[in-house]
């Protein structure tokens, strides 16, 4: 199992450009999440999905869109990148079973710089 | 508002010098308290889940404990390879699918 994978690993954008970050998981997990991590701010939830075809807003959703067309993939889009979106982005997935709250598994991250 | 606060922000230990990291939480109806390890340039790696006050879990030199207001990550006789940032996260009550993360404690173990 590859677990949670993210592409690309690094990207540099100019202000106003758009891009899509791809997250894939091969663990048949229902739930998927997108976070951003900034120095001194910790991990903050951008959007999440509780199943194929569903999405919901997290703590910091402005400027981002997401789609979950297939269970194994969760895409994060930036329509018009801004310098404030310079960050490290992590995807995570989780298996929900038996009512217990299970751990999230994280990908290796994408380092994005917006100039 | 749900909050998770970790202290200290950074901790330097000599190899073999035991210590504890603190995670204070304020969440409604805690469903789970999670500890992760994060190495530079990598994603968080799951360590432990604690579900109820009084619960303890161990893994090698690490032991996590939980009370009604706090969790501790005890590190016994640490080695340089234990150097990392340790993250604490809490899951609030039923109906929430989210985790609230603390800002982490950066641990450095000096040989």
Of B43, B45, B101, the CB nearest to A42: B101
User: In chain B, which residues have their Cβ closer than 8 Å to the Cβ of A40?
Assistant: 103
Calculated CA dihedral for residues B34, B103, A49, A90, nearest 10 degrees: -110
pLDDT at position A95: 85
Whether the pLDDT of residue B96 is over 80: the answer is: no
The domain segmentation of chain A, as residue ranges, is 4-95
Provide the domain count of chain B. Answer: 1
Whether residue A106 and residue B43 make contact (CB cut-off 8 A), yes or no, is: yes
CATH superfamily membership of A4-95: Immunoglobulins (2.60.40.10)
Residues spanned by the domain of B31: 3-110
Specify the CATH number for the domain of residue B76: 2.60.40.10
Instruction: Give the burial class of B6: count Cβ atoms within 10 A of its Cβ; 0-12 exposed, 13-18 middle, 19 or more buried.
Output: buried
CA neighbor of A113 nearest in space, from A4, A8, A32: A8
Whether the pLDDT of residue B111 is over 90: the answer is: yes
List chain A pLDDT tens, one digit each, 115 residues.
Answer: 789 999 999 999 999 999 999 999 999 999 999 999 999 888 999 999 999 999 999 999 999 999 999 999 999 999 999 999 999 999 999 987 655 567 899 999 999 999 9
């Amino acid at each position: 199992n590859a677990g949670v994978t993210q592409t690309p690993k690094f990207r540099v954008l100019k202000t106003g450009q758009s891009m899509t970050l791809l997250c894939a998981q091969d663990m048949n997990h229902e739930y998927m999440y997108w976070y951003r991590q900034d120095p001194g701010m910790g991990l903050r939830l951008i959007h999440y999905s509780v199943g194929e075809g569903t999405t919901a807003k997290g703590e910091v959703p402005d400027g981002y869109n997401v789609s979950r067309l297939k269970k194994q993939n969760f895409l994060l889009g930036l329509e018009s990148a801004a310098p404030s979106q310079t960050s490290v982005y992590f995807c995570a997935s989780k298996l929900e079973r038996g009512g217990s709250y299970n751990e999230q598994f994280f990908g290796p991250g994408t380092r994005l710089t917006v100039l | 508002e749900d909050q998770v606060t970790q202290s200290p922000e950074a901790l330097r230990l000599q190899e073999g010098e035991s210590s504890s990291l603190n995670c204070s939480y304020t969440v409604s109806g805690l469903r789970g308290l999670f500890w992760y390890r994060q190495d530079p340039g990598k994603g968080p790696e799951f360590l432990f889940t604690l579900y109820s006050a009084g619960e303890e879990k161990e893994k090698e030199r690490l032991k996590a404990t939980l009370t009604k207001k706090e969790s501790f990550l005890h590190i016994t006789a640490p080695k340089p390879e234990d150097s990392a940032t340790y993250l604490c996260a809490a899951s609030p009550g039923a109906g929430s699918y989210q985790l609230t993360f603390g800002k982490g404690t950066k641990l450095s173990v000096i040989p």
